[in-house]
Chains A and B, each alone.
Chain A
Amino acid sequence: EAAVTQSPRNKVAVTGGKVTLSCNQTNNHNNMYWYRQDTGHGLRLIHYSYGAGSTEKGDIPDGYKASRPSQENFSLILELATPSQTSVYFCASGEGCQNTLYFGAGTRLSVL
């Protein structure tokens, strides 16, 4: 079954440490996205990609990098994690003129 899989599902990191969140999709979609969701708030776009080798900045890219080495994989990298990056992160894939998004189950990140 086509799906978007995120790993890890939960992560505790230390301030200043490097964190990599991974996302794999079997939908064969060109577009992939990383959003963060803070308690009581909506989804905010961090980075997105329209194909292997491409990454684009979303609305809140500061402190994050992204990598799209293949059609299936899209990573979010926090080089120097800070407590303000504690959040739930969602990956999604999408395609087509309507660009309907299919989301993973999310990664809960705590930066201490």
Chain B
Amino acid sequence: SQWGEENLQALSIQEGEDVTMNCSYKTYTTVVQWYRQKSGKGPALIILIRSNEREKRSGRLRATLDTSSQSSSLSITGTLATDTAVYFCATGTGGYKVVFGSGTRLLVSP
């Protein structure tokens, strides 16, 4: 199905645990972006990974990219309650168009 039409996946974990979220994309892309959306706000970029990179780290965040399987993952280590949000991956499908995946709702309990 087209991205964005599927239901959000949901994950519920305890503070301090590590978590990994996955996404797959359907068309060639030069970069995969991961966004976080907190309740009542618009999404905001947290990390991006280019097609010539297999892994990218930023603080507690780690993104991976497998262009052969057209998939990416986002890992958060040592989660905090403030990591509670919806996480989306997004790709450029050529030119200006940016398409988002269906997202993962992460609930981190103290």
Query: B-contacting residues of A (Cβ < 8 Å)?
Result: 4, 31, 33, 35, 40-45, 48, 50, 56, 58-59, 90, 92, 94, 97-106
Q: Which of B96-110 contact A (CB under 8 A)?
A: 96-103
- Among B42, B48, B102, the residue within 8 A (CB) of A106 is B42
Which residues does chain A contribute within 8 Å of B85, judged by CB atoms?
none
Inter-subunit contact B102/A105 (CB<8 Å): no
Inter-subunit contact A41/B98 (CB<8 Å): no
- Among A4, A59, A90, A106, the residue within 8 A (CB) of B2 is A59
Inter-subunit contact B30/A97 (CB<8 Å): yes
Count of A-B contacts judged by CB separation below 8 Å: 82
Given contacts A41-B102, A43-B4, contact A50 B45 (CB under 8 A): no
Known pairs A40-B7, A42-B3, A101-B35; list 4 more (Cβ under 8 Å): A33-B98, A42-B8, A97-B31, A104-B42
B85 CB, nearest partner CB in chain A, Å: 13
- Among B4, B98, B100, the residue within 8 A (CB) of A99 is B98
Q: Which of B1-18 contact A (CB under 8 A)?
A: 2-8
Which residues does chain B contribute within 8 Å of A43, judged by CB atoms?
4, 43, 88, 100, 103
**A-B pairs with lowest CB-CB distance, top 3:** A103-B42, A44-B4, A42-B4
* Distance A92 CA – B44 CA, assembled complex (angstroms): 10
Given contacts A48-B96, A99-B96, contact A41 B42 (CB under 8 A): no
B60 an interface residue at 8 Å Cβ cutoff? no
Which residues does chain A contribute within 8 Å of B48, judged by CB atoms?
98, 100
